[in-house]
Amino acid sequence: MKFDTPASRNPIDRLKVVGQPTARIDGPLKTTGTATYAYEQHNAAPGAAYGYIVGAGIAKGRIESIDVDRAKAAPGVLGIVTAANAGKLGVGAFYVARALAGPDVDHYHQAVAIVVAETFEQARAAAHLVRVRYARGEGSFDLEQARGKKPAQQPLQQKRFADTAVGDFDGAFAAAPVTLDATYTTPDHGHAMMEPHATIAAWHGDKLTLWTAIQLVSWGMRDVAKTLDIPKENIRIVSPYIGGGFGGKGSILADAVLAAVAAKQIGRPVKVTLQRALMFNNTTHRAATIQRIRIGAGNDGRITAIGHESWSGNLGNQPEFATAPTRMLYAGANRMTRLRVAHLDLPEANAMRAPGETPGMMALEIAMDEMAEKLGLDPVAFRILNDTLVDPEAPQRPFSKRQFVECLQTGAERFGWKARSARPAMRREGRWMIGMGVAAAIRGAPVAKSAASVRLDNRGTVIVETDMTDIGTGSYTIIAQTAAEMLGVGLDKVTVRLGDSTFPEGAGSGGQWGAASSTAGVYAACVKLREMIAQRLGMTSTDIEFIGGRVRAGGLSRPLLDAVAAGELVAQDFMEYGDLARRFAQQTFGAHFAEVAVDSATGEIRIRRMLAVCAAGRILNPLAARSQIIGGMTMGAGAALMEELVVDKRIGFFVNHDLASYEVPVHADIPHQEVIFLDEVDPTAGPLKAKGVGELGISGVPAAIANAVYNATGIRVRDYPVTLDKLLDRLPRQAT
Q: pLDDT (tens digit, 9 = 90+) per residue, 91-130? A: 999 999 999 999 999 999 999 999 999 999 999 999 999 9
Question: Would you say the pTM of this structure is higher than 0.95?
Answer: yes
Q: Let me know if 179 is exposed, middle or buried by CB neighbors in 10 A (0-12, 13-18, 19+).
A: middle
* Whether the Cβ atoms of residue 544 and residue 551 lie closer than 8 Å to each other: yes
Strands (DSSP E) found in 170-226: 178-186, 198-204, 207-212
Alpha-helical regions (H) of 494-565:
514-537
Architecture of domain 396-441+586-730: 2-Layer Sandwich (3.30)
Residue 615, beta-bridge partner list: 589
pLDDT band at 734 (very low <50, low <70, confident <90, very high): low
- Whether the pLDDT of residue 33 is over 70: the answer is yes
User: Alpha-carbon distance 470 to 662, whole Å?
Assistant: 26
User: Alpha-carbon distance 516 to 686, whole Å?
Assistant: 7
Give the three-class secondary structure for 576.
Answer: strand
Q: What is the mean pLDDT of the chain?
A: 96
- Which whole number is the average pLDDT over 331-341? 97
Q: Let me know if 71 is exposed, middle or buried by CB neighbors in 10 A (0-12, 13-18, 19+).
A: buried
Q: What is the pLDDT of residue 153?
A: 65
Residue 337, beta-bridge partner list: 164, 308
631, containing H or E segment: helix 622-641
In Å, how far are 12, 355, 404, 580 from 399, measured between CA atoms? 23, 21, 11, 11
Q: Report the phi/psi class of residue 554: left, alpha or beta, with left for phi > 0 and alpha for psi in -120 to 50.
A: left
Q: What is the pLDDT of residue 209?
A: 98
Residue 145: partners with Cβ closer than 8 Å, 6 or more residues away: none
Residue 279: partners with Cβ closer than 8 Å, 6 or more residues away: 190, 191, 196, 197, 657
Candidate from 452-466, 496-510, 536-550 with smallest mean pLDDT: 536-550
389-447 pLDDT, tens digit each: 999 999 999 999 999 999 999 999 999 999 999 999 999 999 999 999 999 999 999 99
Same fold, 2-35+447-582 and 396-441+586-730: yes
- Which whole number is the average pLDDT over 540-566? 93
Amino acid at 612: A
Nearest CA to 53 among 287, 272, 242? 272
- Which whole number is the average pLDDT over 502-521? 97
Give the three-class secondary structure for 502.
Answer: coil
Residue 435, beta-bridge partner list: 596
Q: What is the pLDDT of residue 555?
A: 87
pLDDT band at 735 (very low <50, low <70, confident <90, very high): very low
- Whether the pLDDT of residue 158 is over 90: the answer is no
Architecture of domain 2-35+447-582: 2-Layer Sandwich (3.30)
688-711 pLDDT, tens digit each: 999 999 999 999 999 999 999 999
Query: Among residues of the chain, what percentage have pLDDT more than 90?
Result: 96
Q: Report the phi/psi class of residue 404: left, alpha or beta, with left for phi > 0 and alpha for psi in -120 to 50.
A: alpha
Q: In what order do the strands lie in the sheet with 545-547?
A: 545-547, 550-553, 556-559
- Whether the pLDDT of residue 69 is over 50: the answer is yes
Residue 235, beta-bridge partner list: 208
433-485 pLDDT, tens digit each: 999 999 999 999 999 999 999 999 999 999 999 999 999 999 999 999 999 99
Indicate which residue of 465, 485, 644, 695 is catalytic: 695
- Whether the pLDDT of residue 306 is over 50: the answer is yes
- Whether the pLDDT of residue 45 is over 50: the answer is yes
- Whether the pLDDT of residue 578 is over 80: the answer is yes
- Whether the pLDDT of residue 178 is over 50: the answer is yes
- Whether the pLDDT of residue 736 is over 50: the answer is no
Where along the chain do its domains lie?
A: 2-35+447-582, 396-441+586-730
In Å, how far are 10, 534, 544 from 541, measured between CA atoms? 15, 9, 6
Give the three-class secondary structure for 143.
Answer: helix
Let me know if 576 is a catalytic residue.
Answer: no
Strands (DSSP E) found in 170-300: 178-186, 198-204, 207-212, 235-238, 270-273, 289-297
Nearest CA to 95 among 284, 245, 344? 284
Query: Dihedral through CA 10, CA 11, CA 17, CA 21, nearest 10?
Result: 0
